[in-house]
Amino acid sequence: MSDPQVDRRMSVDKGQPTFQVIVLGPTGGPREDNITGLLIRSASTSWTKGSVVAVDAGTMLSGIIRTLEPHMTVSEDGKASVTSGPFAGLQLPHSTAKANAAYIFREIIAAVLITHPHLDHLAGLAINTPIVEASNGPKTVAALPSVIAAMKNHMFNDVIWPNLSDEDGGAGLITYQRLVEGGNPHFGRGELRGYVRACENLLTKCLSVSHGRCKQQYHPETGRHHRVGSGVFTAESMMVPPSFSVDHSDAGRLYSPTRARLSSASGSSGKETAWATVESSAFFIRDGPTGHEIIVFGDIEPDSVSLEPRNRRVWEIAARKVAAGTLRAIFIECSFNDSVDDNSLYGHLCPRHLVAELRVLAERVIAVQEASSPRSRGRSSKRKRHDSDSGSPRSARTTLPQLSGRNPNHTNEHKPNNEHEVNNNANLNAIVEEEEEDNNQASPTPPPLAGLAVYIIHIKDTLCDGPHPSEQILQELRAHSEAMGLGCQFYVPKQGEGIWI
């Protein structure tokens, strides 16, 4: 996209857009002025107080100023207005971009959702929060309990930064909202179960995902992170599965509330070191009036290399929404290109792993479609008949039921990418082929993720001369996806871009 300030209207589907997403920070660094931060609002709302929710806050005010400034005009009487760009239609009470950005931060943004407490997702919130005023009330900061604990103990602690929260005698400029992982079961019914209010007309539900490994583990009873070998985990030592390895240099034994979070790595000396996973989040954001959704992922690692694979659970839920046509887009990271090896991912994704993850989603979508359509059920039985026909040239489809077992997301062993790709491509293409045949060439069956827009965020800039790293990443993603027949579209948004979904 040549114009970074473009206000792009998505055509993922017919009809009116449901969401507007404004990209304040599309990267994972190293520049501090465009790191992860999105503003999201329902397209059915006007720019009223509390009509926007922010997801991550690496860059906030500076991103708002930069997005607003080129589209502002000031009349002779000093009145400012914005008639183009992502903030078009917003009534501006002040004459400069910085004063209007402060107004947006104070009045228009209802809450800030934080996926995980790394600085590139939190720095803007910390630096910007002092401008909150009493008349606006405290800014709600919503996240999983471990994320709130990290912010509270390691950021807003009167050492790194003043305690601006309304807990422990702080200044009261922000208020923490601890989200229930997987959704709060006390709210909502049916499809709405678990969702909580994010801002006007938007609801959210948060699932935890894994983002690499570390030697600190959150303990819900102390509300703090402790070294995984720490004695605070001793009380529940009986819950340690015998297969778990223990750092024998520690007197205490290890415990994890979710036991799989702990694992071990053998050193050359035979001594073993315990690890925990870094917790990150995936936010399902739901538009109240239409029931349409998007998912915004925090930093995330592939299930195939994770100590605690948790992505599949997100895809299971997402697949039903893709099949129903309600999931419109996902925002997900792809920090590096494919030249990175699995040992150097540091809890992130690259194109081969992102597409392997999307393939899991695609498989689940096909499974949901087959389960819900009588016509498809017929296809399933037909597929079984083919399966027994070992001599058939279409025997590739016999591998379909085994995919979950062979999927790279279920092994901790890194295999060459080409091997996965060959298997993946054969299987998904076989499904599409068969469905096309079953339809007697009536109308071609769309690929499983057709209509789903995938926005790539958190690309790490190399700050080198030459093409931006996003070019190669996009090329690799599109090549993998096309070979696999996924059918989704990839985009890399720019800072200041307004996306209509």
Task: Report in angstroms the alpha-carbon separations of 254 from 149, 223, 233, 274.
Answer: 21, 17, 6, 8
How many other C-beta atoms can be found within 10 angstroms of the C-beta atom of residue 375? 11
For strands 139-143 and 109-113, give the pairing.
parallel
Task: Report in angstroms the alpha-carbon separations of 31 from 282, 460, 482.
Answer: 24, 9, 32
26 in contact with Zn ion (CB under 5 A): no
Between 107 and 299, CB nearer to Zn ion: 299
Task: Report in angstroms the alpha-carbon separations of 427 from 370, 397, 416.
Answer: 16, 6, 18
**Residue 359 beta carbon to Zn ion: minimum distance, rounded to whole angstroms:** 24
Considering only residues 261 to 300 of the shown chain, the ones binding Zn ion according to CB under 5 A are 299
118 in contact with Zn ion (CB under 5 A): yes
Q: Which residues pair with 498 in a beta bridge?
A: 7, 22
**Residue 96 beta carbon to Zn ion: minimum distance, rounded to whole angstroms:** 31
Please give the full DSSP string across 124-163, using - where no structure is assigned. HHHHHGGG--GGG-PEEEEE-HHHHHHHHHHTBSSSSB--
Cis amide prior to 30 (ω within 30 degrees): yes
**Residue 300 beta carbon to Zn ion: minimum distance, rounded to whole angstroms:** 9
25 in contact with Zn ion (CB under 5 A): no
- The CA-CA-CA angle for residues 283, 289, 294, to 5°, reads 25
**Residue 283 beta carbon to Zn ion: minimum distance, rounded to whole angstroms:** 15
How many other C-beta atoms can be found within 10 angstroms of the C-beta atom of residue 471? 12
**Residue 115 beta carbon to Zn ion: minimum distance, rounded to whole angstroms:** 8
**Residue 458 beta carbon to Zn ion: minimum distance, rounded to whole angstroms:** 6
Binding part of the chain for Zn ion, among 5-13, 113-121, 243-251, 258-266 by CB under 5 A, reads 113-121
364 in contact with Zn ion (CB under 5 A): no
**List 56, 120, 301, 435, residue binding Zn ion (CB under 5 A):** 120
Binding part of the chain for Zn ion, among 27-35, 98-106, 214-222, 287-295 by CB under 5 A, reads 27-35
455 closest CA partner among 468, 474, 482: 474
CA–CA separation, 359 vs 367, rounded Å? 12
# residues near Zn ion by CB under 5 A: 4
Between 45 and 281, CB nearer to Zn ion: 281
Between 28 and 170, CB nearer to Zn ion: 28
383 in contact with Zn ion (CB under 5 A): no
CB distance 106 to 132 below 8 Å: yes
Binding part of the chain for Zn ion, among 6-14, 23-31, 390-398, 471-479 by CB under 5 A, reads 23-31
Between 294 and 345, CB nearer to Zn ion: 345
Cis amide prior to 309 (ω within 30 degrees): no
CA–CA separation, 107 vs 47, rounded Å? 10
CB distance 161 to 151 below 8 Å: no
**Residue 146 beta carbon to Zn ion: minimum distance, rounded to whole angstroms:** 13
Q: What are phi and psi of 363, to 5 degrees?
A: -60, -40
**Residue 125 beta carbon to Zn ion: minimum distance, rounded to whole angstroms:** 14
Between 356 and 459, CB nearer to Zn ion: 459
Between 117 and 408, CB nearer to Zn ion: 117
Considering only residues 28 to 57 of the shown chain, the ones binding Zn ion according to CB under 5 A are 28
Binding part of the chain for Zn ion, among 85-93, 110-118, 371-379, 481-489 by CB under 5 A, reads 110-118
Between 120 and 303, CB nearer to Zn ion: 120
**Residue 232 beta carbon to Zn ion: minimum distance, rounded to whole angstroms:** 24
Please give the residue ranges that form the binding site for Zn ion (CB under 5 A): 28, 118, 120, 299
